[in-house]
Structure 1
Amino acid sequence: MPMRTRFTIWRTLATGVVAILTAAFLTPAAAQAATQQSRSPRESRPVYSYAHAVREAVWVDTGLDGDGDGKTDRVAADIVRPAEPARQGRKVPVIMDASPYYSCCGRGNESQVKTYDGYGHVVQMPLFYDNYFVPRGYAFVGVDLAGTNRSDGCVDVGGRSDILSAKSVVDWLNGRARAYTTRTGTKTVRATWTDGRTGMIGKSWDATIANGVAATGVKGLKTIVPISGISSWYDYYFAQGAPLYEGGPDELAGYVQSDEARAHCAAVQKKLADGSPRSGDWTGLWTERDYVKDAGRVRASVFLVHGMQDLNVRTKHFGQWWDALAAHGVERKIWLSQTGHVDPFDYRRGAWVDTLHRWFDHELLGYDNGIDREPMADVERHPGQWVTSRVWPPAGTRTTTLHPAPGSRAGVGTLGLHAASGTETFTDDPKRSETDWAARLTTSTPEKAGFLTAPLTHDLRLSGSSTVTVTATPSTASAHLSAVLVDLGPDTIRDYADAAEGITTLDNRTCWGASTAGDSSCFKETRAKTAQVDYTVFSRGWADLGHYASLGKGVPLTPGRAYTMTLRLAATDHVVPEGHRLALIVAGTDKDLIDPPSTTPTLAVSLSGTAARLPLVGGAAAFARATADATGAAPSPKALHGVRAPRTAEHIPG
């Protein structure tokens, strides 16, 4: 449940008084607009000049010496803010995006980078945030993380330097840190133009930094809007001991770092490499980069956005972060799309800009616009079709234990509420993936064990995070496990496995805010890229069986001995409709998503020691109702219709 207590009567009264007082300092047109903004419903209006906005750069002292040059590192913060409020003695809040991508890789669907004039002031700030919000009375601050673009220091991939790069700027905005007018000079500058109220936003790595800064509990950070963000860096590279990608954080740092950092940061690169062994063991490096454990320190509200088919920053990240925030009563809101790693600006543009506008007005300006009383969750049920939930997961969601059981054919079992005995056997085949398994669900194949319900007689909704406990006896000293949930039946979905992950970029542009010659607010439109499918993999999880006892240290397995391990699956919100089947697959290596073990084991799965615990809306009663009197057989799945198998995951969370 979201917490409402921060927004009490005093806040509405205070902002109303401010609006009335400041109207006296405005031009007649601006005064009229400000007076209108004091009335219900509240909404900030574009009454300030973007063309004449103040553009400046400061370098904030982080207090760290990451590159070991004997001087504390300074991070660059480029600022675009309306000129009029400062001249009238009024202060504005800040929207901030701290990123490593401002020069190396670009931001957004069109890969925009920062550009500068001859004085070193930013001309183009990527994305629409400055174009749209600066005329509405916000400042926008784009921060170069340590070791990137114009900042000192070294990239440490989610560690202390990364987080303090951004936190130090929040501190400076609130009068607690020192900043300079140049990278190496001694002239200091204060942020006298802001009230210190800051909201952080960003996608992927940027979103991750917002999560990490919020987890410090820094004062002045009022809200974060993390889009496809990482909540624990271990879970970006490993799934319970199973390696997810080749390479590691040292390679990622090398990709985004500046030339200056590349020349001075070899020691940091080595520390990253040494602290992230491909064994999958949890080390101190991962503890430093785990923000979930510090969710209790979060003071900011959280508007979380994620694609439910994101195979780059997988949905486990938002699931565990959301659950931890909920446990500590953090005010929160969520959007879940059918896309992969995609910004909502590129799949629900008009609604996104409007909702984000209202969210920042509420959180940073204190406007009582009712957004905190609206449904907590928006979920994309079909491409472009959205439903809402008053709370998320919905009221009545219950963790329900389903058990696999032998079927009438070897290798094709059933899934239900009652435990059963028996054994199913499969042999790891690193050439097969979740899509191969799903396409053969109704057929016995040697690389998987599959368990299905009969065709459902009512819709069945899963909302939240699942776990699957597996008891398996391996034939070799190493083994990896995969557990996959499948909706078996025809559907039209976003083509998340396409290179664009569910969207098609068009040639026409729409404009969102004011423009200048060097910074256009007009961006290419998109539409949903869809595909017809016979099944949908909607949640998955992986693990190395050698880490069954502890993530801290994997061990060789004893062939012939049974081991039990619980796999944590990706969070989701999915409806298996009437007539479809719900399926659980247990297998080994999931091609292109986890690396194979050093051996090729055969595993005997004990059905009595294996169970799936699923977040069903309505709980066991809903499952019993959906499977009551279910008879007959659904059509066998075919090869993928239009949706390709997931491509090899990229190494960059961008």
Structure 2
Amino acid sequence: MSSTSSAAGIRARVATVLAGVLLMALPGTPVAAAPAIADPAAPAQPGPPHIVGEQTVPAYSYADAIRESVWVQTRADTDGDGVRDRVAVDLVRPREAAAAGIRVPVIMDASPYYLCCGRGNESERKTYDAAGVIAKAPLFYDNYFVPRGYAFAAVDLAGTARSTGCEDVGGRAEVGSATAVVDWLNGRANAFTADGQPVRAEWSTGRVGMIGKSWDGSVANGVAATGVPGLATIVPISAISSWYDYQRYQGVLRAADYPGYLHSYVNGRGDEACAQVLARLRTDSAEETGDYNAYWAQRDYRPAAGRVRASVFVAHGVNDLNVTTNQFARWWQELAEQGVPRKLWLHQAGHEDPFDVRRAEWVATLHSWFDYWLQGLRNGIMDEPRVDLETAPGVWTTQRDWPATGTRKVRVALGAGDGVTGTLGGRGARPGQERSYVDGSLTESALVAEPSTAAAGRLVFLSGALTAPVRISGSASVRLRIRVDRPTTELTARLVDYGTAERIQYGSSEGVRTLATESCWGAATAADDACYRDTEEITAVTDHAVLTRGWLDAAHHRSLRFSSPLRPDRWYTVTVPLNAYDAVLPAGHLLGLVLGQSDPEFTETDDQDATVRVDLGRSELILPLVGRAGLPRVDVAPPVVTAPPAQPAPARTGPWDNRQLP
């Protein structure tokens, strides 16, 4: 073990112990620290009714819960009206606990989606009664946890729904609007009722756990990166940790006007109120350059991992094409280096909540996690393996950490093969042996189909048939020595598993099917029944699958902060990073590396029609492999692979639009 990893491990253990001590010591906690010397004759002091042993139980009425709205004042005036922004917070909390003077912690989901678009698989929106009081909060968090001694806070981010201000899409105003709510729950910020009366959160212990999928989880990451006191834990699900990496792929534009699109989609104000903010988003994001600048640095939470005081429970799908896997993987790595207490769930579906993948186990784990970090209950969850991993459809395992213990970086040489299909493994080509390809703007289906057949617009390299299972765990990359006859071009790379297997079908459905049956998760009212349609993973037996992808604007090969146009008479060494992945390739399968250029289904670029020459002997694939198994040696001709021909590309009547909602 290196000294760095050893120190990180020590910090993690110390942080876990200190966090537990602080949880027990904070004022208002419903669990009192034990006295140094107990009197056996003294009667036992009763605890709050929602705690039995080391677990919370449903002890309070959900139907009779206190439902109220407050508007928390932030530090910003984003709409420039001379008044600081106020964010709407809809609260549900146990009435009996309030009557007994029992303070409760808060589970909080801060979202831009509550009224515009909805949350969860069934796109639930907030609903209100005739007096404007919250009647239904989306998702099951309030139904399940309020009877167990928690409050739930559904926060409308600045500029959305019933909040004032303007949305700045991952920026300081957005993060600050959620941070202000944590401050209010700890007595450090002001809040008001609808009629302007000041209101304090005297019922709160001050301990807050943030949770949310996609944009909501991204906000949780951003708030944790501020180090705000009182935020005890976050549960980011399919969440963004760098907005640059969400809207740019290593200098390549994902889609035009993405910041403006996201702002306008969730904007809860009139167009004129936020026109200046929208204009700044479009200008400062520097779409014309693709550079990482001050705008993007403000929306990159990873460098601030050292400020994180909260524990972090990450959940993500390894086949998420919306919020790609590097978002969790790089955040996870930064948190690990800082010794942040953490936990990870990885499933094989796409942009999905674990509630719709492994429902009962997810709710039980979430319950234990919040009980530990918000209620101070010693339930053993931090003694369990850190990672839950879906290795095949419906097959789960646990492991100590991620990437898997024993992962090593393996350099895999590229060979010329038979002149049509190159090889992966073995001695590889001699330096100076070249292959070239012309940009074909191919769809992914065309890129990876029939790898043993010549096709313009790509280069394909195949391993031999695997003699033993091979596991990839972590982030691969492709190091290329290239010459390009244009100032730049998009470079793309894909790892493909060629071999028959049952796989999650994670395309437009995200790999999950909604069923006709339903199950209920918590208490109910007439307005909110806590019942949700059941789901199942969608699988099919296929003969190949793309594992992971990577993109690079070649002119950004030196730095993402500036471009360096390529000269046609020079060779350049560039690295195309691939998204993090975890998979086991069975014996008999082949691993393929497919190189392309412009990628219309995933990105948008005007730099097309370039010819790229690749020096195979000075290029390589770098794989994160677990254990000693590697790729079989292939020195001359690659195996012949018969795969279905490419499917016709989708009809294209105008520019591609790759914008999605996080």
- Matched with 2:96 is 84
Show structure 1 runs of 5+ residues with no match.
22-30
Alignment check: 8 A CA contact 1:147 1:258 kept:
yes
Correspondent of 1:553 among 558, 562, 587: 562
Share of identical aligned residues, percent?
46
- Matched with 1:410 is 420
Aligned partners of 1:235, 1:129: CA distance in 2, in Å?
30
Correspondent of 1:340 among 350, 357, 369: 350
- Matched with 1:172 is 184
CA 1:555/1:187 → structure 2, altered by over 3 Å: closer, same or farther? Answer: same
Bigger mean CA deviation after superposition, 46-55 or 419-428:
419-428
Alpha-carbon displacement from aligned partner over 1:490-535 (angstroms, at most 9, x marks no partner): 11111111x2210111111100000101111000111111122111
Question: Residue 304 in 1 paired to residue 310 in 2?
Answer: no
- Matched with 2:5 is none
Aligned partners of 2:357, 2:95: CA distance in 1, in Å?
33
Question: Residue 486 in 1 paired to residue 496 in 2?
Answer: yes
Equivalent position SS for 1:59: strand
- The one-letter code sitting in structure 2 at the alignment partner of 1:209 is V
CA 1:332/1:416 → structure 2, altered by over 3 Å: closer, same or farther? Answer: farther
Alpha-carbon distance, 1:622 to partner: 2.2
- Matched with 1:651 is 659
Equivalent position SS for 1:359: helix
Question: Residue 583 in 1 paired to residue 592 in 2?
Answer: yes
Alignment check: 8 A CA contact 1:454 1:631 kept:
no
- The one-letter code sitting in structure 2 at the alignment partner of 1:637 is A
- Matched with 2:630 is 623
Equivalent position SS for 1:409: coil
Alpha-carbon distance, 1:435 to partner: 2.9
Alpha-carbon distance, 1:648 to partner: 7.1
Alpha-carbon displacement from aligned partner over 1:466-502 (angstroms, at most 9, x marks no partner): 22222211122331100111111111111111x2210
- Matched with 1:637 is 643
Aligned partners of 1:590, 1:607: CA distance in 2, in Å?
22
Alpha-carbon displacement from aligned partner over 1:246-268 (angstroms, at most 9, x marks no partner): 322012101100134x2311110
Correspondent of 1:600 among 579, 594, 609: 609
Equivalent position SS for 2:174: helix
Alpha-carbon distance, 1:412 to partner: 2.7
Aligned partners of 1:648, 1:531: CA distance in 2, in Å?
28
Question: Residue 392 in 1 paired to residue 402 in 2?
Answer: yes
Aligned partners of 1:258, 1:289: CA distance in 2, in Å?
21
Equivalent position SS for 1:436: helix
CA 1:188/1:144 → structure 2, altered by over 3 Å: closer, same or farther? Answer: same
CA 1:482/1:12 → structure 2, altered by over 3 Å: closer, same or farther? Answer: closer
Alpha-carbon displacement from aligned partner over 1:337-394 (angstroms, at most 9, x marks no partner): 1111111111111111111111111111121111111111112121111122121112
- The one-letter code sitting in structure 1 at the alignment partner of 2:547 is F
Question: Residue 221 in 1 paired to residue 231 in 2?
Answer: yes
CA 1:265/1:644 → structure 2, altered by over 3 Å: closer, same or farther? Answer: closer
Bigger mean CA deviation after superposition, 123-132 or 586-595:
586-595
Alpha-carbon distance, 1:37 to partner: 3.9
- Matched with 2:136 is 124
Correspondent of 1:513 among 522, 531, 539: 522
Aligned partners of 1:53, 1:16: CA distance in 2, in Å?
18
- The one-letter code sitting in structure 1 at the alignment partner of 2:510 is E
- Matched with 1:196 is 206
- Matched with 2:359 is 349
How many residue pairs match? The answer is 634
Alpha-carbon displacement from aligned partner over 1:15-48 (angstroms, at most 9, x marks no partner): 7953999xxxxxxxxx999579453xx2210111
Aligned partners of 1:643, 1:125: CA distance in 2, in Å?
41
CA 1:372/1:629 → structure 2, altered by over 3 Å: closer, same or farther? Answer: farther
- Matched with 1:150 is 162
Aligned partners of 1:271, 1:120: CA distance in 2, in Å?
34
Aligned partners of 2:534, 2:636: CA distance in 1, in Å?
44
CA 1:649/1:496 → structure 2, altered by over 3 Å: closer, same or farther? Answer: farther
CA 1:369/1:427 → structure 2, altered by over 3 Å: closer, same or farther? Answer: same
Alignment check: 8 A CA contact 2:423 2:635 kept:
no
- The one-letter code sitting in structure 1 at the alignment partner of 2:377 is Y
Alpha-carbon distance, 1:228 to partner: 0.6
Alignment check: 8 A CA contact 1:450 1:585 kept:
yes
Equivalent position SS for 1:549: coil
Bigger mean CA deviation after superposition, 472-481 or 105-114:
472-481
- The one-letter code sitting in structure 2 at the alignment partner of 1:638 is P
Alpha-carbon distance, 1:416 to partner: 4.3
Equivalent position SS for 1:594: coil
Alpha-carbon distance, 1:192 to partner: 0.4
Alpha-carbon displacement from aligned partner over 1:41-96 (angstroms, at most 9, x marks no partner): x2210111000000011111101100000010100111000111111111111100
Aligned partners of 1:211, 1:568: CA distance in 2, in Å?
23
- The one-letter code sitting in structure 2 at the alignment partner of 1:524 is R
Aligned partners of 2:425, 2:493: CA distance in 1, in Å?
14
Correspondent of 2:435 among 418, 421, 424: 424
Aligned partners of 1:58, 1:12: CA distance in 2, in Å?
26
Taking structure 1 as the reference length, the TM-score comes to 0.92
Aligned partners of 1:405, 1:391: CA distance in 2, in Å?
34
Alignment check: 8 A CA contact 2:426 2:634 kept:
no
Alpha-carbon distance, 1:453 to partner: 1.1
CA 1:160/1:334 → structure 2, altered by over 3 Å: closer, same or farther? Answer: same
Show structure 2 runs of 5+ residues with no match.
1-8, 36-44
Q: What is the alpha-carbon root mean square deviation over aligned residues?
A: 2.7
Alignment check: 8 A CA contact 1:495 1:643 kept:
no
Counterpart mapping for 1:307-386 below 5 A: 307-386=317-396
- Matched with 1:56 is 68
Aligned partners of 2:89, 2:17: CA distance in 1, in Å?
30
- Matched with 1:18 is 32
CA 1:163/1:416 → structure 2, altered by over 3 Å: closer, same or farther? Answer: farther
- The one-letter code sitting in structure 2 at the alignment partner of 1:427 is V
Aligned partners of 1:90, 1:123: CA distance in 2, in Å?
24
Alignment check: 8 A CA contact 1:4 1:372 kept:
no
Aligned partners of 1:114, 1:355: CA distance in 2, in Å?
26
